[in-house]
């Protein structure tokens, strides 16, 4: 179970919204920093060193990336704009992990120019790079374990996933990379997303440790790191429990000592991760306002946000908890669909949700939007993406992204010949 509370009151929102109109995403700075520090501390035992590369796709904002970088986190990027975001936040070189797929050459060229760690998704990309700008001295491959490990609902079966090398391709790839002159090596996998079972990540670490030992013996190379990927879930529902990070760390430590002791990697292998959702997800909120009530075959609450602000409920049927500030203690004796104004029937933040009586003008706070919330926004129906704010400890706010304007929407169109 987890306590679904919000870090501000109705009165706080009244004050904030005097200068910042709804809807907007707001992120709890203190909670994000505390959470990030706890994760870093949990893996402080790693002899070779531990680093989490924050998955930029979860919350692509340079202010957030910089906050986490100041604690020692890097950035996991998968596109040219994400690389530039990391660069703007002050990250350089091996503070950046470039994990992409079906990658255009210009994106590889940017990553190489920054000195980022290149994590290749396919064996053919070795020749693609070698025949182009050339391979870096450090290379990492993404492993797809196929039938050896189950995926989960979001990514699906590894055998059906578009990502990664097969086991035999890994061995061939490392031999080829070494022949091309690559001197430093890493190994990566990620076959789940928003997974809540902590044993899943322990199994992943064991899989990679065993594979590192096997490949190093067969290919005559040593590895600098294993990258366990991300995919650590968050408790979207009140009945869900947070993933036990200290348990994951303890069990990986046992495997590390048992399986690497006496090998060439003993005490040297770094452990990396690329978590995003679990770092910021629970500490972001979409603040919207009830602007209409509609009673037909169902009872609807119309809000000033829409699916363009938070795609997950409409796209995945995902649950996001809802709080009505100032009415937390009232009985949840009403059943509503909470809907936006998009011309799509799946533009609903909640369906048949039991909530307190809602009146127009009430704030509606949608939880757990600190990852894959604003990041997945879009402009269908001409909807404009809204602002992002950072909530300080004293309840003041800092704008970290302004809302889009009509001028922004039309900026890529040329009306001169019409």
pLDDT above 60 for 152: no
Q: Which two tokens stand for residue 344?
A: 């799509």
pLDDT above 60 for 337: yes
- Lowest-confidence pick of 1-10, 45-54, 105-114: 1-10
Q: Which two tokens stand for residue 160?
A: 């059906």
Supply the pLDDT for residue 161.
60
Mean pLDDT of 161-189: 93
Domain boundaries along the sequence of the chain: 10-25+281-410, 43-275
pLDDT band at 163 (very low <50, low <70, confident <90, very high): confident
Supply the pLDDT for residue 341.
96
pLDDT above 80 for 147: no
Q: Are 27 and 390 in contact (CB under 8 A)?
A: yes
Q: What is the pLDDT of residues 217-250, one digit of tens each?
A: 999 999 999 999 999 999 999 999 999 999 999 9
The rounded distance, in Å, linking the Cα atoms of 56 and 271 is 19
Mean pLDDT of 137-166: 72
Q: Are 56 and 77 in contact (CB under 8 A)?
A: yes
pLDDT band at 52 (very low <50, low <70, confident <90, very high): very high
pLDDT above 90 for 332: yes
| pTM, two decimal places | 0.95
Supply the pLDDT for residue 149.
47
Among 228, 217, 221, 280, which residue's Cα sits nearest to residue 251?
228
Q: What is the pLDDT of residues 59-111, one digit of tens each?
A: 999 999 999 999 999 999 999 999 999 999 999 999 999 999 999 999 999 99
Active site residues: 343
Angle at the Cα of 278 (from 274 to 284), degrees rounded to 5? 125
Domain formed by 10-25+281-410, architecture: Beta Barrel (2.40)
Supply the pLDDT for residue 154.
47
Q: What is the pLDDT of residues 347-400, one digit of tens each?
A: 999 999 999 999 999 999 999 999 999 999 999 999 999 999 999 999 999 999
pLDDT above 90 for 157: no
Q: What is the pLDDT of residues 247-288, one digit of tens each?
A: 999 999 999 999 999 899 989 999 999 999 999 999 999 999
Strands 270-273 and 348-355: unpaired
Angle at the Cα of 100 (from 230 to 388), degrees rounded to 5? 65
Supply the pLDDT for residue 407.
97
The rounded distance, in Å, linking the Cα atoms of 221 and 215 is 8
Domain formed by 43-275, architecture: Alpha-Beta Barrel (3.20)
The rounded distance, in Å, linking the Cα atoms of 78 and 80 is 7
Q: What is the pLDDT of residues 101-127, one digit of tens each?
A: 999 999 999 999 999 999 999 999 999
Name the 3-class secondary structure at 73.
coil
For all residues of the chain together, what is the average pLDDT? 95
């Amino acid at each position: 179970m987890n306590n679904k509370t919000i870090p501000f009151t109705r009165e706080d929102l009244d004050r904030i919204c005097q200068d910042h109109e709804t809807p907007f995403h707001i992120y709890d700075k203190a909670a994000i920093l505390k959470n990030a520090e706890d994760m870093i501390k949990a893996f402080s035992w790693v002899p070779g060193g531990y680093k989490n590369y924050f998955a930029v796709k979860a919350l692509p904002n340079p202010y957030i990336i910089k906050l986490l970088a100041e604690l020692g986190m890097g950035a996991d990027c998968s596109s040219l704009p994400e690389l530039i975001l990391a660069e703007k936040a002050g990250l350089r070189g091996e503070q950046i992990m470039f994990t992409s797929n079906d990658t255009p050459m210009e994106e590889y060229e940017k990553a190489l120019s920054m000195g980022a760690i290149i994590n290749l998704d396919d064996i053919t990309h070795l020749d693609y790079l070698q025949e182009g700008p050339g391979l870096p001295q450090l290379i990492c491959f993404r492993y797809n374990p196929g039938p050896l490990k189950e995926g989960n609902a979001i990514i699906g079966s590894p055998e059906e996933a578009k990502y990664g090398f097969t086991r035999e391709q890994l061995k061939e790839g490392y031999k080829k990379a070494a022949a091309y002159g690559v001197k430093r090596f890493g190994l990566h996998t990620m076959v789940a997303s928003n997974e809540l079972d902590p044993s899943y990540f322990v199994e992943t670490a064991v899989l990679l440790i065993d594979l590192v030992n096997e490949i190093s013996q067969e290919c005559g190379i040593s590895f600098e790191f294993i990258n366990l990927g991300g995919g650590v879930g968050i408790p979207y529902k009140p009945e869900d429990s947070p993933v036990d990070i200290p348990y994951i760390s303890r069990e990986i430590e046992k495997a590390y000592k048992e399986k690497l002791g006496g090998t060439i990697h003993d005490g040297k292998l770094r452990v990396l991760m690329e978590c995003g959702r679990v770092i910021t997800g629970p500490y972001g909120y979409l603040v919207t306002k009830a602007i209409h009530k509609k009673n037909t075959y169902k009872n609807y609450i119309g809000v000033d946000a829409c699916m363009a602000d938070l795609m997950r409920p409409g796209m995945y049927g995902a649950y996001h908890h809802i709080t009505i500030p100032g009415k937390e203690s009232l009985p949840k004796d009403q059943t509503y669909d909470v809907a936006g104004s998009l011309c799509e029937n799946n533009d609903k933040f909640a369906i048949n949700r039991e909530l307190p009586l809602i009146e127009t003008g009430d704030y509606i706070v949608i939880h757990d939007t600190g990852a894959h919330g604003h990041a997945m926004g879009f402009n269908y129906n001409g909807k404009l993406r809204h602002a992002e704010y950072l909530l300080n400890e004293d309840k003041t706010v800092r704008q970290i992204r302004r809302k889009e304007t009509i001028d922004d929407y039309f900026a890529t169109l040329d009306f001169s010949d019409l």
